[in-house]
Amino acid sequence: LKGGGGSASYRLPLPPSKISQNRQVWDSIKKTVFVLGTGLFVFAAFRNSVTWHLQQFWGASGDFWQTQWGKLHDFFGGNEWALFFLGTMLIPVGVFWFFNAILLFADLSGKPNFITRYRIQIDKNNPVDPVKLRHAIRRVVFNQMFLSTPMVLLMYPVMQWRGNPCGPELPTFHWVLLELSFFGLMEEVLFYYSHRLFHHPTIYKHIHKIHHEWTAPIGVVSVYAHPVEHVFSNMLPPMMGPIILGSHVATTMLWFSLALLITTISHCGYHLPFLPSPEFHDFHHLKFNQCYGVLGVLDHLHGTDQVFKQTKAYERHILLLNFTPLSQSVPDAAKEE
């Protein structure tokens, strides 16, 4: 309204419905901020608590491990080549065969039941064909002796050029965690793309088809592969991380051992309690054109897990935290007659 020599404007009052709507929006914003803030606070507190406890463990045992490393270094008389070969070849391969010996006993005998009851493809490898198994073991041993060993030997001068792989001081806890995270991502990228390349029709029938002779894999066939595939898909992806970072042999030993354990679990054919799920890679062996990676990150980005996500196997692709086989708790759909 205007009047006199001046002017004045009056804002019409908002209707009650509009005021109520604004209050609801503001309340929603406050609730969202409270929930997110509380969540971030709890997450930060949990992360700091876990990190603190791990640091305390690492710190309490740090002197112990440093002392043991010093004794081992002295025992080898400073022969760093021998230390490097022990850490990057002998110990990881020993871990591989120790774990696979347990699985092979179950594969061949069908016992003990507390392992075999978790078989993924129930009607396969029950028991495993011994002739087929012997052939696979011969190729695995060949790959480890005549391909892995020379590559590790060649890795040593490269690691020396990058730094001091067998230095007298062990790396810190935080640095080891950072390195392992980097190694995992590096392996995911290199393995995914090399693996997809080996699935190209012109290459597959000459090289990768050997690995896929096992549509229901077992642990030991994780390194059952054509020599070319073993070099470019099995060896180079886990090797590149330590080479890029110039890692200490102790970290490389830990990483190679973990990598061999994880690939064994991925191929073992049993979804065992409290171990990473092998459903993802088991499905790859069953269907061939799905689930190429290790972590599943690039499969998600490239859409090479879409069929997998529509199956019961995807529902079972979880960390099993009880002793009921997932084949029972998440059974396959009944076939229509």
Q: Is residue 280 predicted with pLDDT exceeding 60?
A: yes
What is the C-alpha to C-alpha distance for residues 285 and 295, in angstroms, rounded to an integer?
Answer: 16
- Residue 36 has a pLDDT of 59
Q: Which residue is it, tokens 């067998």?
A: 166
Mean pLDDT, rounded, for 41-47: 61
Selected residue with higher pLDDT from 63 and 326: 326
In a domain, residue 313? The reply is no
- Residue 270 bridge partners (DSSP): 119
Domain that holds residue 85: 78-271
| Lowest mean pLDDT segment, chosen from 60-64, 100-104, 235-239, 264-268 | 60-64
Mean pLDDT, rounded, for 242-250: 96
Which of 30-34, 43-47, 289-293 shows the highest mean pLDDT? 289-293
Cis peptide before 112 (omega within 30 of 0): yes
In a domain, residue 72? The reply is no
In a domain, residue 233? The reply is yes
Q: Which two tokens stand for residue 91?
A: 């110990």
- Residue 2 has a pLDDT of 44
- Residue 119 bridge partners (DSSP): 270
- Residue 278 has a pLDDT of 96
- Residue 126 has a pLDDT of 86
Q: Is residue 157 predicted with pLDDT exceeding 80?
A: yes
In a domain, residue 266? The reply is yes
Mean pLDDT, rounded, for 111-133: 93
In a domain, residue 83? The reply is yes
How many Å is the Cα radius of gyration of the chain?
27
- Residue 1 has a pLDDT of 44
- Residue 215 has a pLDDT of 94
In a domain, residue 18? The reply is no
| Lowest mean pLDDT segment, chosen from 8-12, 15-19, 207-211, 237-241 | 8-12
Mean pLDDT of the chain: 87
In a domain, residue 282? The reply is no
DSSP for 121-161? Answer: STTSSTT--HHHHHHHHHHHHHHIIIIIHHHHHHHHHHHHH
- Residue 51 has a pLDDT of 60
Question: Cβ contacts of residue 178 below 8 Å, gap of 6+?
Answer: none
| Number of domains the chain is built from | 1
Q: Is 216 helix (H, G, I), strand (E, B) or coil?
A: coil
Maximal C-alpha separation, the chain = 108
In a domain, residue 253? The reply is yes
